[in-house]
Amino acid sequence: MVALPIAKASNAKVATALPQEMVAVFVGATSGIGEFALKAFAQHSKKPRIYFVGRSQEDATRIISECQKLNANGQYTFLRADVSLLNKVDEVCQQILSKETYINLLFQTQGSIRTDKTSEGLPISYALPVASRILFALNLLPAIQEATSLKRVVSVFAAGHEGPFSESEWTEYASTHGLMKARAHVSSMITMAHNAMARRAPDVAFVHNYPGSVKTKFGRDATGVLGGVLKVANVVFHVVPDRLVFQAPSVCGEHQLYLATSARFPPAKGDAAGVAVSDGVSAARGSDGLSGSGSYNVNYDGENVSADVDAHLAKAKADGAEDRMWTHILEEIKRITGKARD
């Protein structure tokens, strides 16, 4: 386990170990884990330029004000968009790329358990955590490769919970099965997509992590029986003091910033690894089982997931499922946006 003091010590070096004017893009950051990570990045970076994407202008205004108090030398730009729509993802990426030639960090938390479909025909429970995240990464990857010192893509979902997936229902499965089965399916897709992108961009590090117990708004948009169950659970958790159940927002932010900036998670090639690790801390094991291989699936504290998960992913790669999933994603994106991606 990478203890919190180690994460904090690493984060304290961000302003001096990494260049000033780093550019970061946070998607789904107007509340919860994305907000906590954004604030940590703002606090510890020197003259950062931060873009964050979400739907709530009210929350964005509050976050900008709070970030300016944390670091008055940073630039904070909110882009309002419904990123469950892939064509909107393209629009947002074009807005960012029209202003920036390099990006150091793409940090994504967008997600939902809603099973209804977007106007583009994708279930929201799939569009946000899978298709939207992958398209953001594909669009911004060339700019990430232009950065120095830090080139990283972080996706917060459920690393370590990768499990059985359905090749016949890549898109629909999460909306037609229970939460645990959906989590296994979607988690596998996220890690496999990271693996595919890491092979295409070996100078960029990809981190899929499980955030642990964090109090967020995730799931509050659920409807039907599931929505009712979650509302009851929310009432119960409000009776119990947060400190007994959840990580403090600042602690969550410190852990996520560490995952986003530490050289414990280096790319497979190149020297843009992030803040050098302290004595006794080695490069993490990649999802392929090899140390420092560029695509990582870890817990919130930076520790590797179980060997059983690694074996599951290795089998998916060996039998071609990972490649077939990647082909499906690219074809789906082309069908919806009219644009082919590499």
Question: How do residues 15-45 score in pLDDT, each as one tens digit?
Answer: 999 999 999 999 999 999 999 999 999 999 9
- The CATH number linked to 312 is 3.40.50.720
Q: Could you write out the DSSP letters of every residue in 211-267?
A: --S---STTTT--HHHHHHHHHHHHHHHHS-GGGTS--HHHHHHHHHHHHHBTTS--
Residue 301, pLDDT above cutoff 60: yes
Residue 14, pLDDT above cutoff 60: yes
What per-residue confidence (pLDDT) applies to 215?
A: 67
- The pLDDT of 189-212, averaged and rounded, is 97
Question: Contacts from 312-319 at CB under 8 Å and sequence distance 24+?
Answer: 312/162, 312/163, 312/188, 313/162, 313/188, 313/191, 313/192, 313/195, 313/287, 313/288, 314/288, 314/289, 316/165, 316/188, 316/192, 317/192, 317/195, 317/288
pLDDT band at 239 (very low <50, low <70, confident <90, very high): low
Using CB atoms within 10 Å of the CB of residue 309, give its burial: 0 to 12 exposed, 13 to 18 middle, 19+ buried.
buried
Residue 209, pLDDT above cutoff 90: yes
Residue 1, pLDDT above cutoff 90: no
Residue 228 lies in a domain: no
Which residue has better confidence, 326 or 235? 326
Residue 236 lies in a domain: no
Give yes or no for a contact between 149 and 274, defined as CB atoms under 8 angstroms apart.
yes
Tell me which residue range forms the domain holding 76. 4-218+248-336
Closest CA to 45 of 113, 125, 104, 131: 104
CA dist 78 and 25 (Å) reads: 10
What per-residue confidence (pLDDT) applies to 221?
A: 57
Q: At 94, which amino acid appears? A: Q
| Block residue for tokens 């409000």 | 238
Residue 163, pLDDT above cutoff 80: yes
Residue 227 lies in a domain: no
Residue 112, pLDDT above cutoff 50: yes
Residue 308 lies in a domain: yes
CA dist 76 and 74 (Å) reads: 6
Angle at 197 between CA 141 and CA 31, to 5 degrees: 65
What per-residue confidence (pLDDT) applies to 96?
A: 99
What per-residue confidence (pLDDT) applies to 285?
A: 95
Q: At 198, which amino acid appears? A: A
pLDDT band at 60 (very low <50, low <70, confident <90, very high): very high
What per-residue confidence (pLDDT) applies to 245?
A: 55
Which secondary structure element, helix H or strand E, spans residue 328, and what is its range? helix 321-337
Tokens representing 101? Answer: 């030639």
What per-residue confidence (pLDDT) applies to 107?
A: 99
Residue 18 lies in a domain: yes
Count of structural domains, the chain? 1
- In the Cβ-directed half-sphere of 39, how many Cα atoms lie within 13 Å? 21
What per-residue confidence (pLDDT) applies to 3?
A: 87
Q: How distant is the alpha carbon of residue 183 from its chain centre?
A: 15
Residue 13 lies in a domain: yes
